[in-house]
Structure 1
Amino acid sequence: MSPLSLCVSFLFVLTVSVAQGRDIASNLHGIAFAAVTTEDAQRAARWYSEFLGAKHLTDLSFSFYGDEHYYRFFQKEILEARAQGIDPDRLGVPDISDNGNYEIRGEFVLFDNGLVQLIEFARRDTEEHITYPRRIRLTGPGVRNAPQICLWTKDDLDFNQFVHELEEKSIKAGYDKAIFNRAVKVKNEEERRNAPIKDKGINVKEGPFAGLSFVYMKGPSGEQLELYKMVNHTRWHFGKEYCKRRGVTTAFLDNYKDNEYKKKAGLTGQMWGLVQFGTHTDDLFGSVNFYSNVLGSQTMEYPMQAIDLKGDPFKNMLYQKETLEAARLGIRPREFGILDVSANGGGRIDYRFNLFDNYHVETLRYTDGPTMDYPSFPVAYNHSSLAYVGDMAAAFHVNDNADFNQLVADVERRAEELGFEGVKANRVIDVRRLGEMVDLSEYSRPFTSGNLEGYNYVVMKGRSGEHIMFVQLRGPMGEKVKQAMLEYGAVSTAWPETNPWTYGGYDEFCSKYHNLDASPKEEL
Structure 2
Amino acid sequence: MRLANATAISLAASTLPMNMAAAQTGSVQTGNAPAGNRDAAPLGARLQGVQHFGVTVQNMDRAFEFYTEVLGGTEVMRDGDFQGVPVHYTLLTGEEIIANETGVNPRTIAVPDLAGGTQRLDVRFVQFDNVVIELLQYRDADQPQGSGDSFAEPREHMSPAYPRSMHICFYIRDNVDFNKFIQDLEAECARRGMTQVKANRSIKVMTEEERRAAPVTANTLKIAEGKSNCWSLIYCKGPEGEQLEFVQALGPVKQTFAEAKMKRERLIAAG
Structure showing greater Rg: 1
Matched-pair contact (CA < 8 Å) for 2:235–2:243: yes
Is residue 119 of structure 1 aligned with residue 136 of structure 2? yes
TM-score, normalized by length of structure 2? 0.79
* CA–CA separation in structure 2 for the residues paired with 1:92 and 1:115: 26
Matched, 1:92 2:110: yes
Give the aligned residue type for 1:190: E
Q: Pairwise mapping of residues 249-264 of structure 1 onto structure 2 (< 5 A)?
A: none
The Cα of 1:168 is off from its aligned counterpart by: 0.9
Residue 86 (structure 2) pairs with residue 81 (structure 1): no
- Work out whether 1:229 is the aligned partner of 2:248: yes
1:133 aligns with 2:168: no
After superposition, what is the alpha-carbon deviation per residue over 1:299-338, rounded to whole angstroms, capped at 9, x for unaligned? xxxxxxxxxxxxxxxxxxxxxxxxxxxxxxxxxxxxxxxx
The correspondence for 1:109, drawn from 120, 126, 138, is: 126
Amino acid across the alignment from 1:110: Q
**Per-residue CA distance 1:185-205 (angstroms, 9 max, x = gap):** 113111112212111100112
Secondary structure of residue in 2 paired with 1:208: helix
Name the CA distance, whole Å, in 1 between partners of 2:179 and 2:124.
30
Greater relative CO (CA pairs within 8 A, separation 6+):
1
Could you give the per-residue CA deviations for residues 117-176 of structure 1, whole angstroms, max 9, x where no partner exists? 000101113448121123223211101111111111111111111111111111111111
Over the matched positions of the two proteins, sequence identity in percent amounts to 28
1:47 paired residue number: 66
* Aligned-partner residue type, residue 111 of structure 1: F
Give the 3 Å change call, closer, same or farther, for CA 29–133 of structure 1 in structure 2.
Answer: same
- Partners of 1:32 and 1:187 lie apart in 2 by 38
The partner residue of 1:238 within 254, 257, 261 is 257
Deviations 1:186-228 (A, max 9, x none): 1311111221211110011222111111000011100001011
- 1:395 is matched with which residue? none
8 Å CA contact retained: 1:45, 1:108: no
Q: Deviations over 1:229-287 (max 9, x none)?
A: 0000100100000111129xxxxxxxxxxxxxxxxxxxxxxxxxxxxxxxxxxxxxxxx
How many angstroms does 1:113 deviate by?
Answer: 1.0
Match of 2:84 among 60, 66, 73: 66
SS at match of 1:134: coil
Say what the alpha-carbon RMSD is for the aligned residues.
2.1
Which secondary structure does the structure 1 equivalent of 2:48 belong to? strand
Matches within 5 A, 1:422-441: none
TM-score, length basis structure 1: 0.42
What is the identity, as a one-letter code, of the residue corresponding to 2:86?
Answer: E
Q: Aligned match of 2:227 in 204, 208, 217?
A: 208
Secondary structure at 1:245 match in 2? helix
d(CA) in 1 for partners of 2:149 and 2:185? 28
Secondary structure of 1:199's partner?
Answer: helix
**Equivalents in 2 of 1:220, 1:167: separation in Å?**
11
| Residue 27 (str. 1) matches residue 43 (str. 2) | no
Residue 116 of structure 1 aligns to a residue whose secondary structure is strand
Q: CA deviation at 1:49?
A: 1.2
- Give the superposition deviation at 1:34: 0.3
How many residue pairs get aligned? The number is 230
Matched, 1:166 2:189: no
Extract unaligned runs of 5+ from structure 1.
1-18, 248-297, 299-356, 358-500, 502-524
Name structure 2 gaps, 5 residues minimum: 1-37
Farther-moved stretch of structure 1 (115-124 vs 184-193):
184-193
SS at match of 2:188: helix
Q: Note closer, same or farther for the CA distance 1:234–1:222 as it changes in structure 2 (3 Å cut).
A: same
Deviations 1:10-65 (A, max 9, x none): xxxxxxxxx978342222111111000001223211111111111122x4343311
